[in-house]
């Protein structure tokens, strides 16, 4: 995963994890699509979707698996000078 995709510091209220952690929602038995901007603090994240699966691991704790299905999200491209663009 390129370094540019760093996670948000604060759990986004739109994430399924937020509902499991704070809203009393049930664990996710299967991954569900969500906008990547819910998990990644990067301007271009709004162009991508990821899949999230969240389960409770203890009181006040959840574990979320974030699956990248669009390979364009993790591609690194070279600019005209041959420099890697991240």
- Domain presence at residue 51: yes
Domain holding 65, by residue range, is 1-72
Number of domains in the chain: 1
- Domain presence at residue 11: yes
pTM greater than 0.95 (yes/no): no
Instruction: Kindly state the average pLDDT of the residues 71-79.
Output: 73
- Contact between residue 78 and residue 84 where contact means Cβ atoms under 8 Å apart: yes
- Domain presence at residue 86: no
| Tens digits of residue pLDDT in 24-73 | 899 999 999 999 999 999 888 999 999 999 999 999 999 999 999 888 88
The pLDDT, as a whole number, for residue 74 is: 83
- Domain presence at residue 81: no
CA 67/CA 23 separation, integer angstroms? 23
- Domain presence at residue 83: no
| Tens digits of residue pLDDT in 2-32 | 788 889 999 999 999 999 999 889 999 999 9
Contacts of 5 (CB under 8 A, 6+ apart): 40, 42, 45, 73, 74
Beta pairing partners, 56 = 62
- Domain presence at residue 46: yes
């Amino acid at each position: 995963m390129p370094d540019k995709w760093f996670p948000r510091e604060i759990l986004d209220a739109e994430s399924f994890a937020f509902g499991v952690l704070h809203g009393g929602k049930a664990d996710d038995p299967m991954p569900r699509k969500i906008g990547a901007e819910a998990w990644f603090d990067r301007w271009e994240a709004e162009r991508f979707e990821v899949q999230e699966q969240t389960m409770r691991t203890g009181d006040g704790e959840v574990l979320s698996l974030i699956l990248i299905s669009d390979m364009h999200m993790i591609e690194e491209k070279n600019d005209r000078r041959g420099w890697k663009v991240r």
